[in-house]
Amino acid sequence: MADPKQILIVDDSEETVLFLSEILEEQGYGYRVANNGRAAMEAMAEAAPDLVLLDIMMPRKSGLGVLKDMKKNPVLASVPVLIVSGASAVTGVDVQSGGERPKESYDDDFARSYGQRLHEIMEGLEPPDGFVEKPIDPPVLVEKVRELLAR
């Protein structure tokens, strides 16, 4: 039997890590966890994963910083990256398109400006291979993971 594909989960939320790990285990994938961007880069220096599930908003190096560093590294540049983030919901700005999403209150200008800034930063980067919004829909996640691992 072939070794299971190894996926690196990079997220600072223990709840999200638990949820993602349960989904991956059910599908027979192996996984490792990094709770911040620096730990993710250290983990990938030890062994390149087959796929990275990457949160955007994290301490000690953002997911965008990780993505940027991966694309500059010849060993990691070809590793597919699936962004798994609630940034669009938190900020009211779709991080992929830059379009504003209606929020319950437009009083939170800071969150909206942060979302617009995230979008601007992402425009300057090589795009990730996929994007899944939190709250995570397991069938959507599994489909994207399968698609990216089949490349």
| pLDDT one-digit tens code per residue, 26-74 | 999 999 999 999 999 999 999 999 999 999 888 888 888 899 899 899 9
pLDDT of the residue at 122: 58
Beta-carbon neighbour count of residue 54 at 10 Å?
25
pLDDT of the residue at 63: 87
Phi, psi of 14 (to 5 degrees): -60, -35
pLDDT tens profile 91-138: 444 445 445 555 555 555 545 555 555 555 556 667 788 888 888 999
Could you please report the per-residue DSSP string of the chain? -PPPPEEEEE-S-HHHHHHHHHHHHHTT-EEEEESSHHHHHHHHHH---SEEEE-SS-TTS-HHHHHHHHHHSTTTTTS-EEEEE-HHHHHSB-TTT--B---S-TT-HHHHHHHHHHHHHHHTSPPPSEEEESSP-HHHHHHHHHHHHT-
pLDDT of the residue at 103: 53
Question: Do 88 and 114 touch, CB atoms closer than 8 A?
Answer: no
Superfamily of domain 6-149: Response regulator (3.40.50.2300)
Phi, psi of 103 (to 5 degrees): -120, 165
Which carries the bigger pLDDT value, residue 65 or residue 142?
A: 142
